Structure 1
Amino acid sequence: MGNSNIDNEAQAFEDWCLDKGLSDTSARNYALWLKQLPEPLDFHTQDLEHILAMIKAQVTFPAIRSAYKKYLQFKRDTENYSIDQLKDLDFVRNEIDQIDVASESRLTKTEVMKKYLDTDEVAEFHRKTQDISPPRFKTLDDPQRKCAEFKLLPVFLFETAARIAEALRVTTTDLDFEDGQVTIREGKRGKRRTVDIDKSVTLLQDHITRFDIDGELFLFDREQEYWKLRYEMIRIGNNAALKFGDVTPHWFRHSYATNWCVKELQKGRGIAEVKEEIRDYLGHDDTSTTEVYIHAAEELTRDNIYREHGGFQLSI
């Protein structure tokens, strides 16, 4: 089936949807959306970058997202994929959920709690990245440097609480090693802010010296290569020794904000003051988003999940 043209694939997909109990209208619409692909997906022969590019060009609103997630289930049911190919398929399914479409919901406390790593776990994740070697990035330009960038990103993202797009824009002129600070020049809606770093200082200094960097710290292309960052982080997060789940770059931002709120609330500081400071640090416009971290921190403290000894002294 992987060599069938897209019309035949769409017909087989429509028949499968009907067999699974979907209505005639839903099955027909799903098949029509599938026909927008230039060719059927084939995890036997196509690389992930090609598959993701085809899907992302089509998924523009929730109903289409649902159609392509159903299509991946169809591929799982009808193709004889290896374990690794099934893992790639599951990764693509996860990526479909991350595509920005209309009617996206707001951040919730449940989501923050699910994506929360305490400082010990951040350190464990960092140590696991050190096992990665350049061949993992062989499909990208300059795999040696991008592998090195990948190894320092988790700690950098955690300490700065930067969005991945913000982090990838940082240059050497934005770094102040003496004061342990980074200027985020191009935040959301053009906001500029200064954030603190600790363990990242040595990691960045070594990285800059090793690759003789004067300018952009990271060569990863946010549009074309972000999928590879996510893929490798998810792979590490699901490592048998960690079992954190599908860790993505944004987990480290959530984790910093939640850890910081817990720490400050445990000091007895008022909620309003804590909310204002973490809002400014994260560069939020909407305080309702910031409040989610406060609520998560209150629950973590109440349930004694947070391990205070971790603090912000990462042991890496």
Structure 2
Amino acid sequence: MSNTKKFSSCIIGVGDAGSRITIDLINKVNSDYLLLTNSSLKSKNLDRVLHLGIGNIINPSPEVMRKSFLQISNDIYGKVCEYQSIVLIGNLASRFGSAILPMLAQMIRKKTKIQIVCLVILPFSFEKEKLFRCGVSLSLLSKYIENIVLIDNDAVIRNHLDLPLEEHFTITNRAISDIVRESMNKTFPVKFNLVSTSRIDTPNLKDAFIDAISALADKISLSEIQKYSLYLFQSTENVSVVKNLVDSSNNLLPAAEQDLHLVLNSNGQTRCHVLATTDHNIVSLYDPLNSLIPIDNVLDFEPEIAMNDGLKLDHIRNLESSLPA
């Protein structure tokens, strides 16, 4: 029996990070799921995992990954075409995520009228070789998806350069998981949004709020924010503290529309997420050539161009035939 008869939505985890977040969400939301990966990821339901076959290539290039995606694109489409909404989760800092997410979004958008929301992780600013690739992918995603939520690695470590990498990844994954879970119960953010969050060991809600707001201010001018969502996780904090934080956010962003989410956190962790609606100018931070390349030119990304196996260069002579026996 098709899973689409049970669920109206599907969460698609792309790559290792997207798959881990999706697995964490499976038993917390009323949604089906699909994992798209090139690793040996395990799942209780093998029918919900699709592996991109890359053979024995140890370090596959983005082009190889895109070609592998095209080979199983019909299988992917067959599993998602009947849903009413799809949530894409992935990491644009990874080679797999930056290669596959735009192609997946393009396929769904061109072949269906399904509502799509995409949540992605952006690379650290010191990962220079990943910034341009991320920017290109982000620009392409913006063509196919209107509702995009970004979490910036730099926004997490702004005040915590001593943060261990494992804890950092836990923070970013947790923030995306929290936002998806809350949005499934209510409604997803619309348009283009940037997320900032607090670290794991924040002692109280006030410190978590300061942590998240300061990280956000490092990326966006608070005076330019027109709408934001405030997520406060704490089950034991006094009502007066929550009220003071809400009032403080109103003072810091007086012109912005506020959407408040008070979450009774069952595991006792205190945390705060701030999700601010912004514009596509943030893409230029990752793709500095985005505003310089003429619109009628294309980069080596479009699968129709980059992977045309039918292209034959007949005018190039066979060099091997001229070699002596």
TM-score (norm 2): 0.28
| Greater fraction helix | 1
**TM-score, length basis structure 1:** 0.29
Structure (1/2) with the larger strand percentage: 2
Bigger RCO (CA 8 Å, 6+ sep):
1
